[in-house]
Amino acid sequence: MKFSKLFKTKQPVLVAFIFSLAMGFAQVSLASEPFIKKIRIKGNTLIDPQSLRQHFDLGNGLKMDPFLMDLAASELRSVYRYHGHPDIDSHALLKSHNNTLTLKVDEQREYRHGAARAELAVYNLDWNFNMKTTEEQKDEAIRKLVKGYKKIRLNEEIVTSYQVKKQRTRIEGIEAEKKKAMREKIAPAINAFKERNLALEKEQAQKMIAMRARVKASSEKKDMEELKPKIMEYGEVTPFERSAF
């Protein structure tokens, strides 16, 4: 028999269940793990709180680790499914200072497209119009409403997906137009910048050619001066003049 079906028994069966799984998976508690005496359910409006307290009674308590925290949250979701409310979220929040593990429940989807909404609608209708419907008739009406809510939810998801896709296409189109306008605005500045760079490069190249020409001319002039014979002067008479005597 599934553990969730033990819900209506008046015994704190969760402790034995957790310990058996913990032993099966060889989960060894560390000395640093907090000791939890109580599990508190927060956010529940669909199930009798007293029944949940009995279901999650820890007896003398136990050491809690992340594996057992996930196990407790999963068990709470199973209890909701057993009671006809499968579309809920739950997660565990550990508060070691008061030896309490809090299981937080989000029932929003059940009140939007699940049995919770259907039950409210059927019982309000029966109350407001004094229809005196039987429990079987109410259950049948709830099943039909839930089936209709699922179709509505599917339609909403399709419409939302279409709208998101359309919005994404629209945003991409706007971004493309912005980029195009930016390119058109920046293009002249980029071209002017390139032209200035080309002009500067051309001017630099001309300067380099002119400088090389000056260096070459200066070098040739120096070589010519070195090849030209030098006349040595000794006083007022040069050596050439002395040889003439």
Q: What pLDDT does residue 167 have? A: 86
pLDDT tens sequence across 6-48: 333 333 445 444 444 444 433 444 447 788 888 999 999 999 9
Q: What pLDDT does residue 84 have? A: 87
Q: What pLDDT does residue 7 have? A: 35
Q: What pLDDT does residue 15 have? A: 44
List CB contacts of 90: < 8 A, sequence separation 6 or more: 73, 76, 77, 80, 103, 104, 105, 106
Task: Report the chain's mean pLDDT, rounded to a whole number.
Answer: 77
Distance between CA atoms of residues 57 and 18, nearest Å: 11
Q: What pLDDT does residue 55 have? A: 92
CB 34 within 8 A of CB 73: no
Q: What pLDDT does residue 73 have? A: 92
Handedness of CA 237, 238, 240, 242 (dihedral sign): positive
Q: What pLDDT does residue 77 have? A: 93
Q: What pLDDT does residue 44 have? A: 93
- % the chain with pLDDT above 70: 77
Q: What pLDDT does residue 226 have? A: 66
| DSSP string over 27-56 | -PPPTTSPEE-EEEEES--SS-HHHHHHHT
Q: What pLDDT does residue 152 have? A: 82
Residues lower than pLDDT 50 in the chain: 1-13, 15-31, 234, 244-245
Distance between CA atoms of residues 110 and 89, nearest Å: 10
